[in-house]
Amino acid sequence: MQTQVMENNSKGKGHVPTKMDQCIQNCLNCFRVCEQTLAEALYGNSQNFSQALILIKSCAEICHTSAKFMMMNSAFHVDTCGICAKVCIECADTCESLGDENLRECIEACRACAKSCNEMSKMSH
């Protein structure tokens, strides 16, 4: 519900530039996929890898935070996006190393988010 409200807010008054809008969407998608992956793992639908689960949860949280900072047009989005890109890359690499096909969507969402957040992190304050 909160994600839907934020998605709607990103299209309203004071619309953000296209690259930023895409980055917001990639962050929100990565947040959603990481949360779903975590929920599936906790309910026994996937192998239980505690360190990977902690990383997936961390990734979901920083993606959510980065999206919110961009939607608020905060000058600090440059910083949150830089951290987000690093966490997403680590999460994707860790999930990929597990060799579990159930993690494919999470890996892809993390890589897309890392790429766009890396671009946003290079903007000036």
Using one digit for the tens of pLDDT, what is the confidence trace for 74-103?
Answer: 999 999 999 999 999 999 999 999 998 989
Q: What pLDDT is stored for residue 47 in this prediction?
A: 56
What single letter denotes the amino acid at residue 86?
K
Using one digit for the tens of pLDDT, what is the confidence trace for 39-68?
Answer: 887 776 555 577 888 899 999 999 999 999
pTM reported for the whole predicted model? 0.77
Q: Which 8-state DSSP code applies to residue 103?
A: G
Task: Report residue 18 as tokens.
Answer: 């296209």
Answer whether residue 7 shows pLDDT above 60.
no
Contact 64, 31 (CB under 8 A): yes
Q: What pLDDT is stored for residue 46 in this prediction?
A: 54
Contact 89, 57 (CB under 8 A): no
As a whole number of Å, the CA-based R_g of the chain is 14
Contact 86, 108 (CB under 8 A): no
CATH 1.20.1270.360 is held by the domain 18-121: yes
CA atoms within 13 A on the CB side of 53: 13
Mean pLDDT score, 31-39: 91
What single letter denotes the amino acid at residue 113?
C
